[in-house]
Amino acid sequence: MNFDLEFVLVVGVFLTGVIWLLDARWWGPKRRKQAYEAGLRGEVAGDKDGDSSRAPWYVEYSRSFFPVLLAVLLLRSFVAEPFRIPSGSMMPTLLVGDFILVNKFDYGLKLPLIHTKILPIGEPQRGDVVVFRYPRDPSVDYIKRIIGLPGDTITYDGNKLYINGKLVPTKIVGRYAGEGPNHLMGGAIVEQEDLPRRNGSVVKHDILIMPGRPVPTGSVVVPKGEYFVMGDNRDDSNDSRYWGFVPQKNLVGRAFLIWFNWDFQDGQVDFHRIGDLIH
């Protein structure tokens, strides 16, 4: 079973907030009044409030945890959320062991849990690296690069990619030397791909090609409100070529920063990747 931190945060904020509110409006004043009256009758030693005026443990915990949980929920829902890269489908851009931050603001603000957009801000662009809820199992998060926008015709013929009938330029830049959990793609060809944006600019990024591996061929038109995504590790990525499009409502946000890297397999930290921007 997947651990749903967002659900836990929402429930935690609700419960601690309700307890804090009830104590502030009703329980607390009643408790202090009873303690004061008992003190006047000489039933409680010490000051007029006495020990009986102290809040129960669950109220004290709610007072302490509510602002913390609320701050975490707001930051995670509307600003940025951390993720860990568990697979090599986005190599060489992202490696196994990378910990990344995802911008939750760029594509509009969404309510937690129901993910309904309440404030449109911007739209995904071709070339963005995005985290999204896998359409076939929304409890699982995937990360890929947006290749096709709504209305685009995407054609993939082996390792050649066409957008709206135009070949996406690539050039060979070398061979990939993978280490640790990334060694399986060692020797793959590294190509620089120039993805065109609709505003005329180009997103330059590296992809991996492993000669001899079977790859799919096809041509699709991206429906309205959906996106076509692919991994930068083109010959080892479970992406839109196999299962279709990503609805806009499934988008979590745009990956923009590697904030840590830790290889669980050998316990090594790659300090050189910390702070790298994701392009």
With DSSP H G I counted as helix, E B as strand and the rest as coil, what are the percentages for the chain, rounded to 5?
Answer: 30, 35, 40
Give the single-character DSSP code of 94: S
DSSP H or E segment with residue 219: strand 217-221
Is 249 an active-site residue? no
Is 160 an active-site residue? no
CA angle 134, 131, 215 (to 5 degrees): 65
Among residues 53, 62, 89, 240, the one annotated as catalytic is 89
Among residues 53, 77, 144, 240, the one annotated as catalytic is 144
CA angle 209, 210, 213 (to 5 degrees): 120
Is there a cis peptide before residue 92, judged by omega within 30 degrees of 0?
yes
Radius of gyration of the chain (CA): 26
Distance between CA atoms of residues 85 and 97, nearest Å: 6
- Which amino acids are annotated catalytic? 89, 144
